[in-house]
Chains A and B, each alone.
Chain A
């Protein structure tokens, strides 16, 4: 199963962009990359997902490297409500579908 590696923690100033990196060097060609975030005392919340090309939605952007060995979640303007643990998740698709969660990056947003 593909594994993902993320920094344990990051800090950002409010209103500034945040780039959260993820390494998934063992990912296969059909494994999707998903991002979820978890606020304190809540279940994870879906943020974005992609396979090969960059993706945008109202919450964030996902930039996937051309060799697919890494990706970056981009929050365009961090707010205090974005403080959470962000998980890079590989969706193992060989025969079955199985979510493999990374260890997560705790994002701290400074006012």
Chain B
């Protein structure tokens, strides 16, 4: 069974631009969560989508948004990029929302210059 895939793997953007990251969950998984990982703040929960609806949200500004499609694939968008948005963005899928274990993708490394 194929794992979680994320595209692109690496991205360089300029401050003020916007970016869209993509995540394809494991087949049959309906929940997709997004995380930001930085050396200073560690792994922080961004949001979770289940059945095309945002179910949970972390403490991030409205510049961070996402959506989920009917095939469970998910996209994350960051508008008006700031230097502090440079991070590894991880996507994780699970069978459903709740206490189930999550399976993480390799991440997208975003660098904002």
Q: Which residues of A contact B (CB under 8 A)?
A: 32, 34, 36, 41-46, 49, 87, 91, 93, 96-104
Chain B residues with CB under 8 Å of chain A are 4, 33, 35, 42-45, 48, 55-56, 58, 90, 92, 97-99, 101-107
CB-CB nearest in chain B for A104: B42
Beta-carbon nearest neighbor of A103 in chain B:
B42
**Residue in A43, A44, A96, A97 whose Cβ sees the most chain B Cβ within 10 Å:** A43
A-B contacts counted at CB < 8 A amount to 53
Q: Does A97 contact B56, Cβ atoms closer than 8 Å?
A: yes
Most buried by B among A41, A87, A101: A101
Nearest chain B CB to A102 CB, angstrom units = 8
Specify which chain B residues have a CB less than 8 angstroms from the CB of A32 in the assembled complex: 99
Contact between A45 and B99 (Cβ–Cβ < 8 Å)? no
Distance between Cα atoms of A98 and B45 in the complex (Å): 7
Looking at the complex, which one of A44, A87, A91, A101 makes contact with B99 (CB distance below 8 Å)?
A: A91
Q: Is the CB of A45 within 8 A of B104?
A: yes
**Which one of B4, B98, B101, B105 contacts A97 once the chains associate, using CB atoms below 8 Å?**
B98
Residue in contact with A101 in the complex, picked from B44, B48, B105, B107, CB distance below 8 Å: B44
Partner of B48, one of A44, A46, A93, A97: A97
Nearest CB of chain A from residue B100's CB, rounded to whole Å: 9
Which residues on the B side are within 8 Å of A99 (C-beta)? 33, 35, 45, 102
Q: Return chain A residues, CB-CB under 8 Å to B35.
A: 99, 101
Asked whether A101 and B97 contact (CB < 8 A) given A43-B106, A96-B55, the answer is no
User: Which residues of chain A are within 8 angstroms of B106 by Cβ–Cβ distance?
Assistant: 41-43
Tell me the nearest residue of chain B to A31, going by C-beta: B99
27 A–B pairs (Cβ distance < 8 Å), ordered by A: A34-B101, A36-B102, A41-B106, A42-B106, A43-B104, A43-B105, A44-B43, A44-B90, A44-B102, A44-B104, A46-B101, A46-B103, A49-B101, A87-B43, A96-B55, A97-B55, A97-B56, A97-B97, A98-B45, A98-B56, A101-B35, A101-B43, A101-B44, A101-B45, A102-B42, A103-B42, A104-B42
Assess the B101–A43 pair: CB atoms within 8 A.
no
Q: How far is the CA of A49 from the CA of B92 in the complex (A)?
A: 16
